[in-house]
């Protein structure tokens, strides 16, 4: 649920930008779910804003938000017209804004997957299924609204044990994002956690994981995940064909530095139907109606 505090922060922040002239009525504004550390997100998406401004020949601005719920709220309230959502947040946002479309996904987002990770103190090793030995351990999800940080891990926990996570683990927490999940398990604050494989692999590549302290214990099957979603009314505001121009700009993005910052090989077309499996799973476990 979107709290009054989040809505107040979001609206006031947007109005300040509007009043200052930073955002005008003809500014194309986008946001992204805060699935990693904010500094990384700001660097990544300011680069995307510059790229889109050049390609679309309009003023494009990125506005960060503090939570998944705030990203969905900004999209619903037309404070942003485009968003980089996860699978679940995209399904939720499009349901709130008729005519909204999933435009593009990363090549890797067709069959995304999670890693379940464990602290060395558990003695757990990697296997072909989620090990029985996780039972009774402490466990952290990422954000409550995250596809790879909550929805998919909870689905597999329920499939494996036939019980809710709160019955399987001695304590269940929510770190807020994938990077913090990694740090909490690496430090032993939580014994087990789940995060998206892209964050793990990027942190590993950058030398930011102590593999003596934390290890992968299971890799989930693939599922559709991140995507760019656009509101259905942008053509009325920015001109006929604007949606198609945004889609094409995203598909044409080939700057190695920008793609590496996601990290993605590139972007490919996506549709709302691609995310029906996510909607179905979310409904089955009671996250959406």
Render pLDDT for 170-181 as a digit per residue (tens, 0 to 9): 999 999 999 999
Q: Which among 179, 203, 219 is the end of a domain? A: 219
Is the pLDDT reported for residue 39 higher than 90? no
- At residue 26, does pLDDT exceed 50? yes
Q: What is the residue range of 46's domain? A: 4-109+224-276
pLDDT digits (tens, 9 = 90+) for 179-210: 999 999 999 999 999 999 999 999 999 999 99
Domain closes at, from 179, 204, 219 = 219
Domain count, the chain: 2
CB atoms within 10 A of CB 266: 15
124 contacts 131 by C-beta, under 8 angstroms = yes
Asked whether residue 282 is domain-assigned, the answer is: no
The CATH number of whichever domain residue 73 belongs to comes to: 3.40.190.10
**Domain-ending residue, one of 219, 237, 259:** 219
For the stretch 150-161, pLDDT in tens is: 999 999 999 999
Is residue 286 included in any domain, yes or no? no
Residue 205 sits in the same domain as residue 144:
yes
| Residues 73 and 128 reside in one and the same domain | no
Q: Is 72 contained in some domain?
A: yes
* Cut 0.85: pTM above it: no
> Burial of 39 by CB count in 10 Å (0-12 exposed, 13-18 middle, 19+ buried)?
exposed
Please tell me whether residues 209 and 129 are part of one structural domain.
yes
């Amino acid at each position: 649920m979107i709290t009054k505090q989040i809505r107040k922060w979001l609206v006031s922040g947007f109005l300040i930008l509007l009043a200052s002239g930073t955002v005008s009525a003809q500014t194309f504004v986008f946001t992204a779910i805060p699935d990693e550390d904010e500094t990384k997100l700001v660097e990544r998406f300011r680069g995307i804003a510059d790229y889109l401004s050049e390609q679309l020949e309009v003023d494009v601005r990125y506005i960060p938000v503090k939570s998944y719920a705030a990203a969905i709220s900004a999209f619903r309230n037309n404070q942003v017209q485009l968003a980089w959502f996860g699978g679940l947040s995209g399904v939720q946002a499009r349901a709130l804004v008729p005519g909204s479309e999933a435009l593009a996904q990363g090549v890797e987002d067709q069959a995304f997957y999670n890693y379940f990770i464990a602290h060395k103190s558990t003695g757990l090793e990697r296997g072909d299924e989620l090990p029985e030995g996780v039972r009774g351990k402490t466990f952290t999800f990422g954000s409550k609204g995250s596809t790879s940080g909550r929805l998919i891990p909870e689905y597999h926990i329920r499939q494996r044990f036939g019980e809710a996570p709160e019955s399987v683990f001695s304590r269940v927490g929510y770190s807020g994002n994938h990077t913090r999940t990694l740090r909490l398990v690496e430090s032993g604050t939580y014994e087990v956690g789940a995060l998206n494989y892209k964050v793990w692999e990027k942190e590993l590549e950058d030398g930011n994981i102590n593999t003596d302290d934390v290890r992968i214990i299971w890799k989930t099957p693939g599922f559709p995940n991140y995507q760019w979603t656009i509101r259905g009314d942008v053509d009325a505001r920015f001109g006929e064909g604007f949606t198609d121009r945004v889609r094409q700009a995203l598909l044409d993005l080939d700057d190695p530095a920008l793609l590496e910052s996601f990290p993605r090989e590139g972007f490919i077309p996506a549709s709302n139907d691609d995310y029906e499996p996510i909607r179905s799973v979310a409904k089955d476990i009671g996250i959406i109606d």
